[in-house]
Structure 1
């Protein structure tokens, strides 16, 4: 045991000398649930308080390890977390015992679908198209080496089971459009992740789909800034804004629809 400890210390010292320790440490810990830092938790709570009041029903679709669940819980919302990855569900169950958890995926219809697990759980997805579009660009170092069969249900079924939500957060790595095809009527404010330029067409398709069920106004928040951009826009106005540098250079963030 003493030899092992000495060896570990020696390896760590060598890695530090060559500037590799932080990189190795990051790789070892990149897929573990970690609590939000205090500043992000506070800023997130202020931001989402614009949409969520005490006891409001919130759907977190693609909850992962619960970064947003932690914020929603601080707002005293009633939370339903949807997460297909068992390791994430186990973590959520232990950390947030008072929330409802659905260990499924959401899509356009009831089915069993292949889910591609990435080395980093936040990149796991039902969309093979997503993998093809990002594996050589923003996620060159990621691999999707495992696939499992997962049950898919729809947003409509979730609403029938739990009631009408006031807020729906969707973060499902390129499968957002399929999720929204499973929604047949307007139901609360919606947010979903965007990635541009690779998934700009998918982002627009999601917005058109939401408009078709009654959503009229759109906005966006760049990256993890948790700051809304300017005023709410109609879909046509938003599409005009796509040509502006502010949105084109934002890379990723969240679209909001109401």
Structure 2
């Protein structure tokens, strides 16, 4: 029963027309018809649907069985759904699952261990585990080609996902959580190791960029240090800097 209540909460929060329209507007600006986009941590599929509406060819990864089942039934037929997580290598991972709040289920043990002391997570309990298949972004690139965009929202596991990518892609986005700023700092370092990127945040589900321009890693690090732990989470976009 708790799993179904959590599933319903996710649908109400994320699978709604207003949120979908907002992300469609942003992806219409960022993606071109025919672009390959990979949604890592598809959850209820809001972003995958928005990418597809922008004309992208979409691969959606979702490791939680209940959500993968929902996506298999409801995603457009031309979206490739893979019931798996992404990581540094192909393996089987143990995911900590929150029945009541499945959106914060995570493969990152440090994230789960630190959450009770983090603002906004003290009410969350990870009460189940689920063994999930893990693949790599490099494996997806080898099978399907280099994507134009990769979205990663995996509750603290972003660095491990990026460890499975060995070349820059034109556009990335990763979830940032102000209560876990150290994890986002590590993600920025990994993105810098992939190539010369510029950054711009999207706060919450507003789907509009915070800054009028794209800024370097130092600027985004400085910005992160100003955020209180109770600031809203969001997505940090990174795009390859144009050559001078």
The TM-score, its normalising length taken from structure 2, stands at 0.87
2:41 aligned partner: 62
- CA-CA distance at 1:233 after TM superposition: 0.8
Contact 2:107/2:157, CA 8 A, preserved across alignment: yes
Contact 1:113 1:149 in 2 (8 A): yes
Equivalent of 1:41, from 20, 23, 28?
A: 20
Question: Equivalent residue for 2:139?
Answer: 157
By relative contact order (CA 8 Å, sep 6+), the higher-ranking structure is 2
Q: Provide Cα deviations, 1:68-116, integer angstroms capped at 9, x if missing partner.
A: 1121122121110011111111111111122111111111112222111
Which of 46, 53, 60 is the equivalent residue of 1:74? 53
Match in the other structure for 2:170: 188
Moved over 4 A (4+): 31-35
Q: What SS class does the counterpart of residue 199 from structure 1 fall into?
A: helix
Deviation at 1:43, TM superposition (A): 2.1
Q: Structure 1 residue 219 and structure 2 residue 203: aligned?
A: no
Decide which structure has the larger Cα Rg and report it. Answer: 1
- Where does the alignment leave 5 or more consecutive residues of structure 2 unmatched? 240-244
Whether the aligned pair in 1 keeps the contact of 2:120 and 2:230 (CA below 8 Å) is no
Check 1:116–1:237 CA distance in 2 against 1; reply closer, same or farther (3 A cut).
same
Structure 1 residue runs of 5 or longer lacking an equivalent are 1-25
Match in the other structure for 1:16: none
* Coordinate RMSD, CA, aligned: 2.2
Query: Is contact 2:7–2:102 with CA below 8 Å preserved after alignment?
Result: no
**Match of 1:109?**
89
The verdict on how the C-alpha distance between 1:165 and 1:146 changes in structure 2, with shifts beyond 3 A counting, is same
Give the CA deviation at 1:240: 2.6
Cα distance, 1:33–1:64 mapped onto 2, change above 3 Å: farther
SS at structure 2 position matched to 1:217:
strand
Measure the CA separation in 2 of the matches of 1:105 and 1:155: 10
Tell which deviates more after alignment, 140-149 or 208-217: 140-149
By how many angstroms is 1:47 displaced? 1.1
In the alignment, the residues of structure 2 paired with residue 195 and residue 118 of structure 1 have an alpha-carbon distance, to the nearest angstrom, of 18
2:69 to 81, 85, 90: 90
Residue 233, structure 1, aligned to residue 212, structure 2: no
